[in-house]
Amino acid sequence: MKEPVNEYRLEMSGISKSFGVVSVLKDVNIKVKHGEIHALLGENGAGKSTLIKILSGVHQKDSGKVVLDGAEINPKNTHEGQVLGINVVYQELSLVKDLSVAENIYLHKLGASKFWMNWKELTKNAQELLDSLGFKIDATATVRDLSIVQKQVVEIAKAISEDTKVLVLDEPTTVFDPTDIKKLFNNLLKLKEKGISIIYISHHLDEIFKIADTITVLRDGIDTGSVPVSKTDKDSVIHLMIGRELKDLYPVRDLKIGEEPIFEVKNLAGKDCIVHDVSFSVKAGEVVGIAGLGGSGRTETAKLIFGADKKKSGTIFLEGEEIKINSPVDAAGYQIGFVSEDRKEEGVFLPLSIRRNISVTSFGSISSKLGFINIDSEYKKVLGLIEKLNIKTPSSEVNVKNLSGGNQQKVALAKWLSIDSKVIFIDEPTRGVDVGAKIEIYKLINEVAKKGVGVVVISSDMPEIMGISDRILVMHEGTFYGELQKDQFSEENILRYSIGEPLK
């Protein structure tokens, strides 16, 4: 190996980035040495992924400087990033399912230089690479047929090639069991010996303290500085990750919680997702928060209950009676609402007017037996909701795509309020919503609960979930790891349960 010229292989300094008016990164600095494993930590939404995407060329920074081996770089896309030697393993798998393992590993090289592919050699090389990682995977297999663990390994193999200088791993172990993790760590140590710089993103503090040399914590888009692992401990890292105050955003909860659970789930498990052994109940008028890290199964749980995904097992009770929910049609029939976290793809109808969006769930009450809509009562209903939810719009005929994020979210909520739901699941109620609209949405949730509706709020925003919930269930790896009562609410406690640690 050549003697390194610069002390640091990678220096990112003064990186700032905003999306629209939302500032995601503010003057972030991170320096990674040759052959260093550098852990990047932070809560959901702290800006870790954005920082990595700027490094790899997915996003372009607004300001700042990225220096690789002493030369400033500005990758315009991921291909340029790869050519420079920056390879990223993202949390969401990005394999081509219908190609073979070998083809996926060398995808970036297919068609790059030669006209003819040497399939034999390519497959041989891929197999050698996989074998050297210590995992049993057939390089000729189609990716579609692999298990999720195997897919993750292929993803990692893809990122390791002879010219990799910086390797970024974003939550690589969420699907791994302890023996797999051990294998992965051995590989990382081997890569480290070769002088490759590794940026390792994880919520598992145990892992970090086992493998990393240095830790950088991001909080709300600002870096809190880098510390060598030897000079810190878990508790101070958790403190660094939280370190902010609850703002005065949240309405005073008007407690009118019923005695009996209005809604109850027992032993829920998903067919195609990690959710298992989920049991909980909601009382009328209660706001239950579901916290947990991304990928812990929160959204999946809600979708299972709502019938949008297939259940493996589980019983559901509404007002004490067992009900069968096999599809969202059934759920809506029982007056159970679900507001998706993915507003644009799953929540609202962007090209349609506010009126058409809101009334889509509530034709029963405003149409005749033959399905003819009473336009007058439709207007009355929709205008009433627009006023009540304070949706800012000149008229009910404005297309939803022309509204701001906060107002779009209110439309998504209005859809379920218009049918007098008994239970509402709200997934990420305020993602991408400005502060003003946030307050209004919190008030609204409060009011809905006051009417005796059972509300379940899923949120990654810790101050939010503590501010609006009466009780918080924390998910970890597909099931509820713990429950927090109001007097136990703290970011630290939520975080501890989220990463599978007991409370202090």
Partner 1 sequence: MALTLKEQLSSPSGILKFLVKYNTVFIFILLLIFSALISDVFFTSVNLSNLLKQVSGIGIISIGMLIVILTGGIDLSVGSMVALLAVTFAILVNLVVLPLAILITIAIGFGLGSISGYLVAYQKMAPFVATLALMTIARGLGFIYSKGSPITFKTYGGLYMSNFANNSTLGIPNIALVFFIIVIITMVMLRYNVFGRLIIAIGSNEEASRLSGIKVNKYKFLVYAISGALAATAAIIVASRTNLGSPNMGMAWELDAIAAVVIGGASLNGGKGTAINTLMGVLILGLIGNILNLLNVPSYPQQVVKGGIIIFAVLLQRFESK
Q: In the complex with partner 1, which residue's Cβ is closer, 368 or 485?
A: 368
Q: Quick one: 500 exposed, middle or buried, by C-beta within 10 A (0-12, 13-18, 19+)?
A: middle
Smaller CB distance to partner 1: residue 348 or 445? Answer: 348
Q: Which is nearer to partner 1, 131 or 272 (CB)?
A: 272
The reply on whether position 19 binds partner 1 by CB under 8 A is no
Q: How far is the CB of 426 from partner 1 (least distance, A)?
A: 13
CB of 341 to partner 1, least distance (A): 11
> Which residue among 70, 333, 384, 436 contacts partner 1 (CB under 8 A)?
333
d(CA 38, CA 168): 9
Nearer to partner 1, 21 or 329 (CB): 329
Tell me the closest approach of the beta carbon of residue 97 to partner 1, in angstroms. 17
**Selected binder of partner 1 within 306, 442, 489, 497 (CB under 8 A):** 306
CA distance to 250, 279, 282, 445, per residue, from 468 (Å): 6, 21, 15, 8
Shortest gap between Cβ of 347 and partner 1 (angstroms)? 6
- Binding residue (CB under 8 A) for partner 1 from 21, 71, 252, 370: 370
Q: Is 492 in the site for partner 1 (CB under 8 A)?
A: no
Nearer to partner 1, 163 or 376 (CB): 376
d(CA 481, CA 478): 9
- d(CA 81, CA 73) in angstroms, rounded, equals 9
Contact region with partner 1 (CB under 8 A), list: 21-29, 153-161, 327-335, 430-438: 327-335
- How far apart are CB 143 and partner 1 at their closest, in Å? 21
**At CB < 8 A and 24+ separation, what contacts does 380-383 make?**
381/418, 382/354, 382/355, 382/358, 382/418
The backbone torsions φ and ψ at residue 109, rounded to the nearest 5 degrees and listed phi first, read: -100, -15
Tell me: does residue 185 bind partner 1 (CB under 8 A). Answer: no
CA distance 504 to 502: 6
252 or 329: whose CB is closer to partner 1? 329
User: Which pair of structure tokens corresponds to residue 134?
Assistant: 């210590």
Say how far apart CA 206 and CA 182 lie, in whole Å.
12
Half-sphere exposure of 33 (CA within 13 A, CB side): 13
Residue 394 lies near partner 1 (rule: CB under 8 A): yes
Binding of residue 415 to partner 1 (CB under 8 A)? yes
Q: What is residue 230's DSSP assignment?
A: G
Q: Please classify residue 263 by burial: count the beta carbons closer than 10 Å to its beta carbon, then call 0-12 exposed, 13-18 middle and 19+ buried.
A: buried
Judged by CB under 8 A, the chain residues 346 through 365 that form the site for partner 1 are 346-352, 356, 359-361, 363
97 or 109: CB nearest partner 1: 97
DSSP state of 56: H
Nearer to partner 1, 415 or 438 (CB): 415
State which of residues 395, 420, 486, 503 lies at the interface with partner 1 (CB under 8 A).
395
- The Cα 175–Cα 445 span in angstroms is 34
C-beta closer to partner 1: residue 129 or 426: 426
In 3-state terms, what secondary structure has residue 261?
strand
> Which stretches of the chain bind partner 1, using CB under 8 A?
306, 308, 328-329, 331-333, 338, 340, 345-352, 356, 359-361, 363, 367, 370-373, 375, 394-395, 397-398, 415
